[in-house]
Structure 1
Amino acid sequence: MNSKEKIIVGAIEECGLPEFGIENLPVRIDTGAKTSSLHVDGIKQFRRDGSPWVSFNIHPNVHNVEETIACEAKVHDIRTIKSSNGSSDERFIVKTTLKLGEHSWTIQLSLTDRSEMTYLMLLGRQGMGRRILVDPSETFLVQNN
């Protein structure tokens, strides 16, 4: 994909996670982060058809922490992730579809507690792939359908 075909995004965009019933979630675009992450709580591990799965709650509205969406996803991996404050922890990694404007693709998300962060989701380099160019001086450049 050449630079003229790439999606130009700002430092903050709105995305959807349709498999989790999420639309218009503000997301921090972070080229310094390798892995994308999503704030969840109530993570519970279980098995379905012999495979590891997790259930968890997503808070789709940063202004209403009481609102939650109960979700389940197959565990893709468990990884040790180093956070921006230097601490490391093991996180469940799930795969899901990211919708950004008219574009959508599969990303890997680490499930974690981002309650102390301004944005409940962070889109890292792996989630961007070769699809995105970032203009850090702008926000909300992508038009949602």
Structure 2
Amino acid sequence: MVLRYSAWIMLIFSLLAGAAISAQEKKSPSVFGWIELAKFVDWDTVTKVKMDTGALSSSLHATDLEYFQRDDDEWVRFTIKVENQRGEEEWVQQTFERPVYRFVKIISSNGDGDRRPSVLMKLCLGGEIYEEQFTLNDRSDLTYPILFGRRTIEHLGLIDVTRTFTSRPHCDTDAPVHTIENRKLDEDIGI
């Protein structure tokens, strides 16, 4: 009788331990604060990013936009100027050239429409790299140079609006890269 009881106890503990291990193996979604730090993958600069659930598209502070043709495709040259958050805070700028991914019509809160180019940029957030679509806009009068809209937020994880700066960007050469073509967008995200 005691032996049978002991066998049942061992079986129950084994099942519980197995369930706990399989629950740990499942990756839980990342939780980010409403303000985070991100690093440009091809520019050694860390800057602040605002998670904005009120915006559909992500936006990047860019000035001096120049359009040109390359291999029959439309490209744009632009300058990013941000406050570098790596150690000493200093303003840094870099000029980039990217193919225009598409043009986006942005409707502001006052109802005005604006047609902006959208480009793909890679940013490190936490320990993962995200290729994101950003509209280019002069955000110099705004606090945050980069805004992540719902299209970006939907695959990042969860946003805790009571927290900020939950992790520093720390992507190395074998960091996971989430490219835009490997992503399925939710049809209802624009509502």
Which secondary structure state, in structure 1, belongs to the residue aligned with residue 164 of structure 2?
coil
Query: Unaligned regions of 5+ residues in structure 2, if any?
Result: 1-25, 171-191
Query: Residue 130 of structure 1 corresponds to which residue in structure 2?
Result: 155
Which secondary structure state, in structure 1, belongs to the residue aligned with residue 95 of structure 2?
strand
Query: Residue 140 of structure 1 corresponds to which residue in structure 2?
Result: 165
Query: Residue 38 of structure 1 corresponds to which residue in structure 2?
Result: 60
Map residues 21-36 of structure 1 onto 2, 5 A cutoff: 21-36=43-58
Instruction: Evaluate the alpha carbon distance shift between residue 85 and residue 38 of structure 1 in structure 2; reply closer, same or farther with a 3 A threshold.
Output: farther
Matched letter for residue 52 of structure 2: D
**How many aligned positions are there?**
141
The superposition leaves residues 117-140 of structure 1 with CA deviations (integer Å, 9 ceiling, x where unpaired) of 100110111112333200011100
* Alpha carbons 1:22, 1:60 under 8 Å: kept: no
Which secondary structure state, in structure 1, belongs to the residue aligned with residue 151 of structure 2?
helix
Query: Unaligned regions of 5+ residues in structure 1, if any?
Result: none
Identity of aligned residues (%): 33
Which has the larger strand fraction? Answer: 1
Deviation at 1:64, TM superposition (A): 5.2
Query: Residue 116 of structure 1 corresponds to which residue in structure 2?
Result: 141
4+ residue runs over 3 A deviation: 62-65
Deviation at 1:101, TM superposition (A): 1.4
Instruction: Evaluate the alpha carbon distance shift between residue 47 and residue 129 of structure 1 in structure 2; reply closer, same or farther with a 3 A threshold.
Output: same
Equivalents in 2 of 1:64, 1:84: separation in Å?
32
Equivalents in 1 of 2:166, 2:74: separation in Å?
37
* Alpha carbons 1:60, 1:69 under 8 Å: kept: no
* Alpha carbons 2:39, 2:169 under 8 Å: kept: no
- Larger Rg belongs to: 2
The superposition leaves residues 63-87 of structure 1 with CA deviations (integer Å, 9 ceiling, x where unpaired) of 755x321111110001111234442
Which has the larger helix fraction? Answer: 2
Q: What's the TM-score, normalizing by structure 2? A: 0.68
Is 2:113 the counterpart of 1:88? yes
Q: What's the TM-score, normalizing by structure 1? A: 0.88
Query: Residue 5 of structure 1 corresponds to which residue in structure 2?
Result: 28
- Higher RCO (Cα < 8 Å, 6 or more apart): 1
* Alpha carbons 1:34, 1:125 under 8 Å: kept: yes
Matched letter for residue 80 of structure 2: I
Which secondary structure state, in structure 2, belongs to the residue aligned with residue 129 of structure 1?
helix
Instruction: Evaluate the alpha carbon distance shift between residue 142 and residue 40 of structure 1 in structure 2; reply closer, same or farther with a 3 A threshold.
Output: same
Instruction: Evaluate the alpha carbon distance shift between residue 128 and residue 40 of structure 1 in structure 2; reply closer, same or farther with a 3 A threshold.
Output: same
Taking only aligned residues, the RMSD between alpha carbons, in angstroms, comes to 1.9
Matched letter for residue 38 of structure 1: L
